[in-house]
Amino acid sequence: MLLILSSIILALSAMASRFTPPTRAQQLAAIGPTAALPRPLQRALEPRDDFQPLPEPGPSDWLANHAEVGQTFDEFAGSLPNRPDNHRGKLYLQPLGTFNESDAPSLDPLRRFTAAFFMMEVVVLPPADLAQNHITSRRNPWTGQSQLLTGDILNALTARLPKDAFVLLGITMMDLYPDPSWNFVFGQASPRDRVGVYSFARYDPKFYGEAPATDSRKLMLRRSCRVLAHETCHMFGIEHCVWFRCLMNGSNHLAESDARPLHLCPVDLRKLQWSIGYDVVERYQRLLSFYREEGFEDEAQWLEKRLRFIAPRE
Ligand SMILES: [Zn+2]
Ligand SMILES: [Zn+2]
């Protein structure tokens, strides 16, 4: 009996800690050989000690509850993901419903961030009228808040996908649900149709009845930038990251998401660069000016340090 009990306990603890942080050799193998790449890109892919290892997941964290094997650069490139080109080279953002100055992230900083992050032209479309697009809504039985049905939104977006769009992403301050039996969903996408929809509602402290913090505008913008960049990277075929602490780490709850950095680890930076073909130095410089303007000090300092290594001034 005791033996059975102790083996059950062993099995349970093995389940809870099935994530083993990768070794440096595994991290480098996931990045892949870089000798043939241009010098600045090669340096941008050198981790040094600028990328933190993932901590052991706590019981409610993503990696304790989802078995992620990780996607190497080679696996990504071999999966023949969607890539932007001259005909389908723009990122479109479609606001759904209203974005109030008081509680929503401003659309212009969101656009500037997305343009710098992906080094692509970003177009913010005029807000769409929900009724005109036949989008079903309901009042959530638990929170009492209005919610939109994601399937209807994805259908409406697919029908109006611009010819030159790489992707069309709906963004909204309304809460979402994917099916009447669900409580809510943060977002949903159909990468094959190149459309997705994401809600910022649950990133607003007010959603949980908390008083707005002094820097709540900055917090809201930062959270919105993070979710938009993370989800848009998924549209490029980039999967969740297990190699380093990275924008592409999965997250199970708000605290875990808040702890994610805004930058990509070398494995995912290489994937995005391969897809888009941007200049890594120019991209970091554009992001750096955005972070300085918006007061994202930690990210600005991190980028300054990386830039000193990647492109040292002679
Ligand atoms: Zn994700
Ligand atoms: Zn990563």
Whether pLDDT at 11 is above 60:
no
Instruction: Please state the rounded mean pLDDT for residues 38-63.
Output: 93
From 258, 246, 283, 236, select the one nearest 30 (Cα to Cα). 246
The DSSP bridge pattern shows strands 175-177 and 195-199 to be: unpaired
* 244 alpha carbon – ligand 2 mean position (Å): 6
Whether pLDDT at 213 is above 50:
yes
* 267 alpha carbon – ligand 2 mean position (Å): 6
pLDDT for 158 equals 96
How does pLDDT run across 70-128, given as a tens digit for each residue?
A: 999 999 999 999 999 999 999 999 999 888 777 788 899 999 999 999 999 999 999 98
How does pLDDT run across 232-243, given as a tens digit for each residue?
A: 999 999 999 999
231 is a catalytic site residue? yes
Per-residue pLDDT band for 12 (boundaries 50, 70, 90) equals very low
Question: Which-ligand-closest: CA of 30?
Answer: 2
Q: How far apart are CA 92 and CA 115, in angstroms?
A: 10
pLDDT for 9 equals 43
- Which residue has better confidence, 214 or 178? 178
* 308 alpha carbon – ligand 2 mean position (Å): 21
* 9 alpha carbon – ligand 2 mean position (Å): 32
- Which residue has better confidence, 70 or 58? 70
Q: Of 231, 239, 294, 299, which residue is the catalytic one?
A: 231
Whether pLDDT at 307 is above 50:
yes
Per-residue pLDDT band for 157 (boundaries 50, 70, 90) equals very high
How does pLDDT run across 258-270, given as a tens digit for each residue?
A: 889 999 999 999 9
- First-to-last alpha carbon distance for the chain, in angstroms, is 71
Per-residue pLDDT band for 2 (boundaries 50, 70, 90) equals very low
pLDDT for 42 equals 97
Question: Which-ligand-closest: CA of 239?
Answer: 1
As a whole-number percent, the residues of the chain with pLDDT over 90 amount to 68
Which residues, 6+ apart, have CB-to-CB distance to 248 below 8 Å?
Answer: 230, 233, 238, 239, 240, 241, 264, 265, 268
pLDDT for 314 equals 61
* 25 alpha carbon – ligand 2 mean position (Å): 15
pLDDT for 133 equals 82
Question: Which-ligand-closest: CA of 198?
Answer: 1
pLDDT for 3 equals 46
Whether pLDDT at 7 is above 70:
no
The 3 state secondary structure assigned to the chain is CHHHHHHHHHHHHHHHCCCCCCCHHHHHHHHCCCCCCCHHHHHHCCCCCCCCCCCCCCCCCHHHHCCCCCCCHHHHHHCCCCCCCCCCCEEEEEEECCCCCCCCCCHHHHHHHHHHHHCCEEEECCCECCCCCCCCEEECCCCCCEEEEHHHHHHHHHHCCCCCEEEEEEEECCEEECCCCCCCECEEEECCCCEEEEECHHHCHHHHCCCCCCCHHHHHHHHHHHHHHHHHHHHCCCCCCCCCCCCCCCCCCHHHHHCCCCCCCHHHHHHHHHHHCCCHHHHHHHHHHHHHHHCCHHHHHHHHHHHHHHCCCC
Per-residue pLDDT band for 217 (boundaries 50, 70, 90) equals confident
- Write 155-158 long-range contacts (CB < 8 A, 24+): 156/128, 157/94, 157/195, 157/196, 157/197, 158/190, 158/193, 158/195
* 124 alpha carbon – ligand 1 mean position (Å): 23
Q: How many CA atoms lie within 13 A of 234 on its CB side?
A: 21
Question: Which-ligand-closest: CA of 240?
Answer: 1
280-295 burial, b for 16+ CB within 10 Å, e for fewer?
bbebbebbbebbeebe
Neighbours of ion ligand 2 (CB under 5 A): 241, 246, 248, 265, 268
Tokens 């995005």 locate to: 272
- Which residue has better confidence, 129 or 284? 284
pLDDT for 13 equals 44
* 264 alpha carbon – ligand 1 mean position (Å): 13
